[in-house]
Amino acid sequence: MPSPRSGARFLGVLGILLIIASILFMTYGVKGSWDFVLQLRGKKLLMLLTVAYAVGVSTLLFQTLTHNPILTPGLLGYDSLYLLLQTLTLFIFGAVGYASIGAFTKFTIEAPLMMAASLLLFRTLTRNSNGDLARLILTGTIFGVMFRSFNSLLQRLIDPTLFTVAQTSYFAQFTSVNVSMLMIGITVMLISTIWIWRMRYQLDVMMLGRNASIALGINYPRLSRNILLWIALLVSVSTALVGPVSFFGLLICALVNACTPSMTHRLRIPAAFLMAALILVCGQLIFEHVLGMQGVLSVVIEFCGGLVFLWLALKRQS
């Protein structure tokens, strides 16, 4: 049983590693104008941290909600749902109208849609799976494929010449930064931190299961609905910033669980954020600045995350 002190030490180590990685990320191989490079990389670093928070924390909350360590919102089609809603608003407003409204307005249209749709999706998934985990994930995965197909159908119907441009949103991209979206993402991150931090003990209780939490005085339906809404919002942020990442959250939570199995949310939440940030910053540092490869980080993460999923799933079976 790890003591709170060892948990705090673990967080401290992660934090120090993240700071070192961030400094290296900002300064490694800088030639020429420091002002320009620092500004460019600073934006990118902020984006990586925001995405790390959104993906890490949303997956952690999702696993708490579903009492299951092999689930992630991405695996159940949440981020393809967001992309579909994005294209749907684009379809309704038309390409010109969509381009003229700002990122903030877009997000205020898309995020509530996403929240409503994800409540519906989650209800469909859990109601029909009857406690069969494999069926739940399979259904979610198939929903994801369906959302993606609808999404690309709509994209083609909008404007065939812009189709290839639109298609780039299929792959997660950690290389380009949308500044106004980043501001929104940081705002969501800060507000959600306050809520999640206030709920940290209730989340611990929730881990005990539905009946135990209700017996201990938790308003279970309300808490799970709120968790789901925050997950939807965080998935929207990460998908809007970098695109869909199905296995990244899973990888992070598996690592956090492996490092310190019995931590409370007070420690798990910061640990998930720090772990995700460390992987993203180090990965981006190595791939972009050391190896000179652009945009393969997401593919490598998907690859590793997929392997982790297989390992977890097969381990549970035997």
- Name the residue nearer to other proteins (CB basis): 152 or 178: 152
Contact between 165 and other proteins per CB under 8 A: no
Choose between 93 and 150: whose C-beta lies nearer to other proteins.
Answer: 150
- Under 8 Å CB-to-CB from 289, ≥6 apart: which residues? 25, 28, 29
Cβ nearer to other proteins, comparing 39 with 167: 167
Q: Which stretch binds other proteins (CB under 8 A): 18-26, 36-44, 253-261, 309-317?
A: 309-317
Which listed range, 9-17, 181-189, 277-285, 304-312, lies at the site for other proteins (CB under 8 A)?
Answer: 304-312
Residue 300 near other proteins by CB under 8 A = yes
Query: Residue 157 or residue 212: which is nearer to other proteins going by CB?
Result: 157
Buried b (16+ CB within 10 A) or exposed e, 53-75: bbbbbbbbbbbbbbeeebbbbbb
Name the one residue in this structure whose structure tokens are 């991150």.
Answer: 189
Residue type, 5: R
Site for other proteins in 111-140 (CB under 8 A): 128, 132, 134-135, 137-139
Give the range of 15-23, 99-107, 270-278, 298-306 binding other proteins by CB under 8 A. Answer: 298-306
Q: Which is nearer to other proteins, 92 or 153 (CB)?
A: 153
What Å distances lie between residue 155 and 45, 117, 148, 282, CA to CA? Answer: 31, 20, 10, 34
Burial of 172 (0-12, 13-18, 19+ CB in 10 A): buried
* Pair 174, 298: CB distance under 8 Å: yes
Distances (CA, A) of 108 to 59, 120, 226: 23, 19, 18
Place of tokens 């189709």: 163
Q: Which residues would be at the binding site for other proteins (CB under 8 A)?
A: 128, 132, 134-135, 137-139, 141-143, 145-146, 148-150, 152-153, 156-157, 160, 171, 246, 293, 295-296, 299-300, 302-303, 306-307, 309-310, 313-314, 317-318
